[in-house]
């Protein structure tokens, strides 16, 4: 059960209101790093809340907003076994809407006195992997991580605009994202002269990080977590 005290409401520039799950490091003082956690296509569910909490335990002020707030009720969670439950909401997302949500989330972090404004990162999973890439193109984040983000190759106008190093994770068994899509991403990163790490885990499938999905791969998840923390810390 989610701790309701962790939920906040953010005002978005288009006049909408967006709920977000927040988590804070325990017994930490001084300026702390901040991280925006972007959801999978299935909502800010138990898994996404747990991920947000893990980043807080690692020392980050973490926030995971509900990107479906324009079309879904507050607290919406879709079914991992029935994509049709989330398709109306994923289909309704727009770049301008996402940009407004990203800025509202970033503004909340930068407005906190205990957050180091020069040390804000982002990470996203599945649908959120693409949002993390968008965030890197939109805001002066310190580092960005994308787990199996579908559609990043199509954001061809964004590569030149990236502010920070980008870490990509892909599953070698992923039938949703093809090798040519990954190759396109890397080719565009190189052409733009941007720093990145590209990780394709041959034995992992789409969603390998989520321990509530059939595609969960514990080894891949733990290995990616270790690299992610090192990447964020060293950026």
Alpha-carbon distance 200 to 44, whole Å? 26
Q: Is the pTM of this model over 0.85?
A: yes
Q: 71 exposed, middle or buried (CB, 10 Å; 0-12, 13-18, 19+)?
A: middle
Element at 100 (helix H, strand E)? helix 95-110
Domain made up of 4-234: CATH architecture: 3-Layer(aba) Sandwich (3.40)
pLDDT of residue 115: 96
* Six-digit token string for 24: 């804070």
Report the mean per-residue pLDDT for the chain: 96
pLDDT of residue 4: 56
Write down the domain spans for the chain. 4-234
Alpha-carbon distance 102 to 96, whole Å? 10
Q: What is the pLDDT of residues 203-229, one digit of tens each?
A: 999 999 999 999 999 999 999 999 999
DSSP state of 52: H
Instruction: Give the mean pLDDT of 115-121.
Output: 97
The answer to whether the beta carbons of residues 177 and 147 sit under 8 Å apart is: no
DSSP state of 146: E
């Amino acid at each position: 059960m989610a701790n309701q005290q962790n939920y906040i409401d953010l005002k978005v520039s288009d006049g909408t209101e967006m709920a977000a799950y927040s988590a804070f490091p325990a017994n930490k003082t001084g300026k702390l790093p901040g991280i925006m956690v972007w959801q999978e296509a299935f909502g800010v569910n138990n898994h996404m809340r747990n991920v947000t909490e893990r980043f807080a335990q690692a020392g980050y002020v973490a926030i995971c907003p509900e990107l479906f707030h324009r079309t879904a009720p507050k607290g919406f969670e879709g079914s991992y076994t029935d994509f049709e439950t989330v398709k109306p909401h994923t289909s309704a997302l727009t770049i301008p809407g996402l940009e407004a949500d990203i800025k509202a989330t970033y503004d909340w972090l930068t407005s906190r006195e205990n957050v180091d404004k020069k040390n804000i990162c982002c990470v996203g999973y599945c649908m959120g992997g693409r949002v993390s890439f968008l965030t890197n193109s939109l805001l002066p984040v310190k580092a960005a991580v994308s787990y199996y983000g579908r559609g990043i190759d199509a954001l061809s106008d964004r590569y030149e605009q990236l502010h920070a190093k980008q870490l990509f994770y892909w599953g070698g068994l992923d039938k949703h994202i093809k090798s040519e899509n990954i190759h396109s991403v890397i080719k565009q990163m190189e052409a733009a002269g941007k720093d990145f790490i590209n990780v394709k885990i041959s034995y992992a499938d789409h969603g390998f990080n989520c321990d509530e999905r059939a595609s969960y791969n514990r080894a891949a998840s733990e290995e990616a977590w270790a690299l992610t923390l090192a990447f964020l810390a060293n950026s």
